[in-house]
Amino acid sequence: MEGLKLITAIKSKTIINVGEAAIGGDEIAIMAGPCAVESREQLFTTAFALKELGVKILRGGAYKPRTSPYSFSGLGEAGLELLQEVSRATGMAIITEVMDPNEVGVVAEYADILQIGSRNMQNFPLLQAVGKLNKPVVLKRGLAATIAEWLFAAEYILAGGNGQVILCERGIRTFETYTRNTVDLSAVPIVKSLTNLPVIVDPSHATGLKELVAPVSKGAVAMGADGLLIEVHSQPEEALCDGEQSLTPAEFAKLKAELSPICLAVGRKL
């Protein structure tokens, strides 16, 4: 990246305000919720449990990028409507994925933060489309993207005029197969030293295993992450997507309690 005059490299700190949260500020931003919006009941039960636990940003996919075309691929606009309804009922802000440049308009009507998934990190028309918005975007690191490629992808959004980019490390593909991906926590301080953007970590997709979500979350905060994106489902065993890496609300509550002293130790709040 050396020598390149990138907007991504401007060093003044970016704090992104969404609902009651300030991402990149003193407080660690927690975005939690199910992988996919499956039904009204599933979404509301999970959201209200998380609201009780102090979560300010709810995640949930309405458009799901699935490896197999035969897997559940989300409820589409009906899912967005449920997200809006639950947001009104709880006061939580919403983050949800957008996969298609033609759907950016509709997703932006419902979402407070748009997510660009790992598989779309280099979907340049999609990056350009969200670059025209005045809304925060979480840009996940590609499955096999270098840090430089990831930052150039962020640059596409910034160059379009949208400075509200949040970078999300979600594990990369390596020879290791025990975990779903290999989490690159060293990317957190590297990217924070190279950019002004908030950096969050997704321990759920990074590991694929619920028992690793807490240790990776703790490591991420200790290494300077500004937030965490965590999959939580009211009944993970019934989940239509990513149940094996989803925490129950009770497991999430335990993680939050364990995270608190680590946040304090690195001068952050939870």
Under 8 Å CB-to-CB from 40, ≥6 apart: which residues? 82, 85
Task: Give helix 147-159 / helix 187-194 axis angle, nearest 10°.
Answer: 40
CA 94 – CA 19 distance, rounded (Å) = 9
Q: Is 205 in the site for ligand PEP (CB under 6 A)?
A: yes
Torsions phi, psi of 249, nearest 5?
-55, -35
Amino acid sitting at position 33: G
In whole angstroms, the minimum distance from the beta carbon of 163 to ligand PEP comes to 22
Tell whether the torsion through CA atoms of 45, 202, 62 and 197 is positive or negative.
positive
Interaction residues for Mn ion, span 104-133 (CB under 5 A): none
Task: Tell me the chain's radius of gyration from C-alpha atoms.
Answer: 17
For position 206 contacting Mn ion by CB under 5 A, the verdict is no
Largest CA distance in the chain: 52
Q: How many residues does the chain have?
A: 270
Q: Which is nearer to Mn ion, 35 or 49 (CB)?
A: 35
Q: Which does 65 bind (CB under 5 to 8 A by kind): ligand PEP, Mn ion, none?
A: ligand PEP
By beta-carbon proximity to ligand PEP, the closer residue of 35 and 47 is 35
Residue 256 interacting entry, from Mn ion, ligand PEP, none, C-beta within 5 to 8 Å by type: none
C-alpha 27/C-alpha 42 separation (Å) is 28
Q: With binding defined as CB under 6 A, does residue 208 bind ligand PEP?
A: no
Residues in CB range of 141: below 8 A, 6 or more apart: 118, 121, 150, 167, 168, 169, 170, 172, 184, 187
Should residue 117 be labelled a site residue for ligand PEP when binding is judged by CB under 6 A?
A: yes
Residue of this chain nearest to ligand PEP (CB atom)? 117
**Per CB under 5 A, 242 contacts Mn ion:** yes
Residues 136-155, one symbol each (x = binds ligand PEP by CB under 6 A, - = not), give ----x---------------
Part of the chain binding Mn ion (CB under 5 A), chosen from 10-18, 33-41, 75-83, 99-107: 33-41
Residues 70-109 that bind ligand PEP (CB under 6 A): none
Number of neighbouring beta carbons within 10 Å of residue 3: 4
Binders in 7-46 for ligand PEP, by CB under 6 A: 35
Residue 196 interacts with ligand PEP (CB under 6 A): yes or no: no
Scanning the structure block, which residue is given the tokens 């009204």?
Answer: 40
| Residue 210 engages ligand PEP in binding (rule: CB under 6 A) | no
- Site residues, ligand PEP (CB under 6 A): 35, 61, 65, 117-119, 140, 170, 202, 205
- Site residues, Mn ion (CB under 5 A): 35, 242
